[in-house]
């Protein structure tokens, strides 16, 4: 298992494609790649080819990475998921996350490595 501390969150990467984001209060948000044509199409559109596991891991990291970059301690969208309430602006965050993923893939940037570098300077 690999762990990444970013902002007030810890993101754990488990074998078997499970990613778990733990917020400061201990609430955990598990995520796994989804099987299905739409999910696979999104992976291809974002530049992951058929690697839905990499897309899923990067997606979870990108939520926290974007939040920390703009000065938030955690992702409001993940907080909403943890609390069982949608953050009213989740679509804006989701669009930013998907855009960051697509940009990073096009630029050849490893989002997890970028998050690790950022975690050492903040």
CB count in 10 Å sphere of residue 58: 25
Give bridge partners of residue 29 from the DSSP assignment. 21
pLDDT in tens, 80-107: 999 999 999 999 999 999 999 999 999 9
pLDDT in tens, 36-54: 999 999 999 999 999 999 9
7 band by pLDDT with thresholds 50, 70 and 90: very high
16 band by pLDDT with thresholds 50, 70 and 90: confident
The residues, any chain, with a CB within 8 Å of residue 106's CB and separated by 6 or more, are 47
pLDDT mean across residues, the chain: 96
Q: Where are the alpha helices (DSSP H) in the chain?
A: 37-46, 52-69, 76-83, 90-107, 111-121
Tell me, what's the pLDDT at 47?
97
Nearest of 68, 55, 65, 74 to residue 9 by alpha carbon? 74
Q: Is the pTM of this model over 0.85?
A: yes
Domain ranges of the chain: 2-121
1 band by pLDDT with thresholds 50, 70 and 90: confident
């Amino acid at each position: 298992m690999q762990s990444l501390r970013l902002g007030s969150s810890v993101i754990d990467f488990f074998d078997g494609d499970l990613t778990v984001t733990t917020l400061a209060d201990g609430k955990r948000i598990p995520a796994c790649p989804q099987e299905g044509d739409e999910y696979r199409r999104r992976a291809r559109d974002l530049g992951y080819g058929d690697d839905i596991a990499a897309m899923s891991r990067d997606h979870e990291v990108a939520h926290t990475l974007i939040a920390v970059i703009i000065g938030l301690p955690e992702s409001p969208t993940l907080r909403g998921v943890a609390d069982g309430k949608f953050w009213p602006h989740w679509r804006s965050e989701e669009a930013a996350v998907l855009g960051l993923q697509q940009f990073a893939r096009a630029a050849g940037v490893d989002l997890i490595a970028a998050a690790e570098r950022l975690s050492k300077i903040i």
